[in-house]
C-alpha cells in the first residue's frame, strides 16, 4: 500500500467512540499526536504499517507495506454498528426494530452479512449506551431537570412536600 493521489481516506467511529482512519479499506488507530502531525498505526498489532497525516487529516505518507488484503467487510460492519448505536441513543424505538430497519436499509456484501453480529449480541452495548443518556437519580432535594425532559423548557415542580 503506497501513498498515491487516489488513496481513499475517511474516518469511522469505533464502538468505544475513538476515531479510526480508513485508507483504502485498511483501518488505522491513532497512535500519537504532535503539534503538527498525527501518527496512525494499523489496528492489527502484527502489522507495522504507519500512516502520517497533518492536523487537518490530509494524508502525508504511509510507511511500510501491508502484507495482507484489505477488509472492506470490517468497515461495513463498523459503519452499521455506528448507525444502529446513534439511532438507539437518539430514539426510543425498540432496539430489535432499529436493528431490523438498519439491516434492511444498508447494502452489505454476502461476507459482511455472514460476519454481522446478531441483534442479541449488540443489545447489551446498545442498552448500555441508552442508559448512559438518562440522567441519574438525584441524591438531594435540589436538582435541575434537564431541558429535554420538560415540555416547554421551563422549570417545573412535580410535587412539593415539606418533610420534618
pLDDT tens-digit readout, 76-116: 888 899 999 999 999 989 999 999 999 888 887 777 888 88
pTM to 2 decimal places: 0.67
Helix axes 72-90, 119-133, angle to 10 degrees: 40
Q: How many residues does the chain have?
A: 164
* pLDDT at residue 5 is higher than 60: no
Comparing 83 with 155, which gets the higher pLDDT?
A: 83
Across 132-161, average pLDDT: 72
C-alpha cell at 96: 430489535
CB neighbour class for 151 (10 Å; exposed up to 12, middle 13-18, buried from 19):
exposed
Provide the H-helix boundaries in the chain: 72-90, 95-105, 110-115, 119-133
Across 116-137, average pLDDT: 88
Comparing 42 with 145, which gets the higher pLDDT?
A: 42
Amino acid at each position: 500500500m503506497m501513498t498515491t493521489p487516489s488513496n481513499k481516506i475517511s474516518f469511522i467511529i469505533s464502538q468505544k467512540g475513538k476515531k479510526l482512519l480508513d485508507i483504502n479499506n485498511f483501518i488505522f488507530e491513532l497512535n500519537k499526536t504532535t503539534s503538527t502531525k498525527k501518527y496512525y498505526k494499523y489496528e492489527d498489532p502484527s502489522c507495522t504499517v504507519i500512516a502520517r497525516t497533518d492536523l487537518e487529516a490530509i494524508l502525508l505518507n504511509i510507511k511500510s507495506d501491508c502484507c495482507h488484503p484489505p477488509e472492506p467487510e470490517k468497515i461495513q460492519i463498523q459503519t452499521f454498528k455506528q448507525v444502529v448505536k446513534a439511532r438507539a441513543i437518539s430514539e426510543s424505538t425498540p432496539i430489535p426494530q432499529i436493528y431490523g430497519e438498519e439491516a434492511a436499509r444498508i447494502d452489505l456484501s454476502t461476507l459482511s452479512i455472514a460476519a454481522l453480529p446478531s441483534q442479541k449480541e449488540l443489545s447489551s452495548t446498545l442498552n448500555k449506551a441508552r442508559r448512559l443518556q438518562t440522567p441519574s437519580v438525584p441524591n438531594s432535594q435540589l436538582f435541575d431537570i434537564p431541558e429535554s425532559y420538560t415540555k416547554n423548557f421551563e422549570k417545573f415542580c412535580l410535587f412539593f412536600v415539606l418533610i420534618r
